[in-house]
Chains A and B, each alone.
Chain A
């Protein structure tokens, strides 16, 4: 385990070094305008480098590196080429990308959208996504699932979705989408496999393994989202408030269910955003008819990079889930924040049984530009011990919401 962390740290160091290496002989440090400590030149250059690569963000035409599209558990880094093109004075865009992660997760996606119909009040789009995830964790269902029952499964799926959004105001979006999902649960595989058992071996009686093949799902969802965050990938002010209800109709007639979600995240700047207090709560509930159940890969889950950080990815599964995160960030340097955080939540078979009994707390560092957190190190402590995380992206970016596709597995 220690060797794996060492490899990660060395690789991270090499990445940062390569990104910032150059002839700095003639350069001089510029006084940091933001932060407790003067920022060394190489960090500021890394930020400049990242900022320039970011360009006009999602409005930049041409090739781009796809670094942020994977799910937790895919490994500490994923990368691949992306290509985006805008047409007709921003009335339409096409975006496509593929990526491979540290653990051999693969993803290909394509999206077309008309975002400015009726003076930006209406957006229409379609999204296709093929993904092959190889080592998704499963520990059994329920809040009392045992760490010792750690198993992994592979999930290959295709998803095609059509969506529409009505935006009466810039920050408010009323969305509707209909999609088709074809999942296939497979034996675990990929790269850097440990000795973890396959889920079919540990949980052979699970309903998912009672059917020879997973059916296809037709998903319908409506949602209301208010998003006032200044920069979604590195929010320092504003908030996101969302409610959604989705209906999953299984062609095999065994895994049909309805999902309800309510989520709120709020970011409060203090002292000119030198300090940011972030809080977030997320409630997910499932409802099934008699004879139906929620397959484990679509059950709400908890644990990992963005939810309970001291717990393993996908540590807890059940029909319902509640999580609360609080994070305080202080600008250590102009582009490095020190963070302390507290996560709490749980899963339960009934909504009324939900509580905040699973907790983790810890501290970390965030390397960011003004718009985006592009690297972080967190050390977290909880009932199941310590966990060290090195990840790209912000833990509270809620990036799953920017993916229009129906995510399988459920991603906390």
Chain B
């Protein structure tokens, strides 16, 4: 009996140690993001030196990693988590894709938003996995081949390994401007699903180098309002009506953000953070904005509405700098 108990205790200790190691991985920040051949570089954001040249239609991974709209995709399994329907599929080249489709009702589809937000964030220096949008695709399953409603296609890229989630409050960048700037941009987009489990650490291996990317993923709950229950997503009238900055208190800005995640930006974001993020976004050209929304499958007239509102918010952010100077 005691042997069984000791074995069980040992197993629990091993599991707990593994769990602690994983937690420590999240909780122990290095002194600064580092790059060396020994330890993988840890990055959240890299200055977008070539921002004006970036292709927001194909995205940071380019057309080479894009799904072929004419391909036949073989069903692997249904998506088993989250609120969106979807599935995993394999294309004719053996590449595996996670497909996030729209809601059955057709209301508030996250898939196009996720692609647009991914394009915007990657353009200004935040790492993103390869995601694309297809309006429909051909699916082969046990019952034959048929056309399936499309959605967001995320490639399970061999050089990119998901190493688990990261926490908004405990990470190597917790007090950095890029992290606060990221929160500003997500708030600007009225993101309503900022839970830690939507953040992923990716281990990127390319050219003999390994990097640990801190990535915001599943960012399709945006471009609507921030209602506590059933917030709208991908809904221009709601996005248009929802304010951005409400005021300033004790040197920190107050936002009309989702109540569940208001703590992430409360007493954290300064004018300088908003100006920094707004300046970055303002460097995107009209063509790049259009391409980002085109990548998400938006019609130009709908895209123009969202872009106009985004630009309004960016101007509001940049105005903070001018007002500070005036004061």
Contacts and interface: CB of A to CB of B under 8 A. Distances in A.
Nearest to A171: B143
A51 B226 CA distance: 17
A90 interface: yes
Interface of A: 19-24, 26-30, 44-49, 51-57, 59-62, 86, 89-90, 116, 119-121, 169-170, 231, 335, 369-371
Given A26-B241, A45-B230, 12 more contacts: A19-B229, A22-B227, A26-B225, A28-B238, A30-B237, A30-B238, A45-B232, A46-B230, A56-B82, A89-B76, A120-B142, A121-B142
Given A49-B229, A120-B143, A26 B238 contact: yes
B163 interface: no
Contacts of B77: 86, 89-90
A290 to B, nearest CB: 48
B6 to A, nearest CB: 31
B2 interface: no
Contact of A370 (B82, B104, B228, B240): B104
5 contacts: A21-B229, A29-B237, A30-B232, A47-B107, A120-B142
A86 B80 contact: yes
Interface residues of B, number: 36
Interface of B: 76-86, 103-108, 142-143, 225-232, 235, 237-238, 240-243, 256, 259
Contacts of A61: 80-81
Given A24-B227, A59-B78, A371 B104 contact: yes
A73 to B, nearest CB: 30
Contacts of B235: 30
Contacts of A26: 225-227, 238, 241-243, 256
Contacts of A119: 142
A55 B83 contact: yes
A59 B103 contact: no
A27 B232 CA distance: 8
Contact of B230 (A22, A54, A59, A120): A22
A125 to B, nearest CB: 17
Nearest to A59: B78
Give the 6 A-B residue pairs with the shortest CB-CB distance, closest first: A120-B142, A59-B78, A49-B230, A52-B83, A28-B237, A61-B80
Contact of B80 (A28, A29, A30, A60): A60
Given A44-B107, A45-B229, A48-B232, A55 B85 contact: yes
Contacts of B238: 26-28, 30
B128 to A, nearest CB: 24
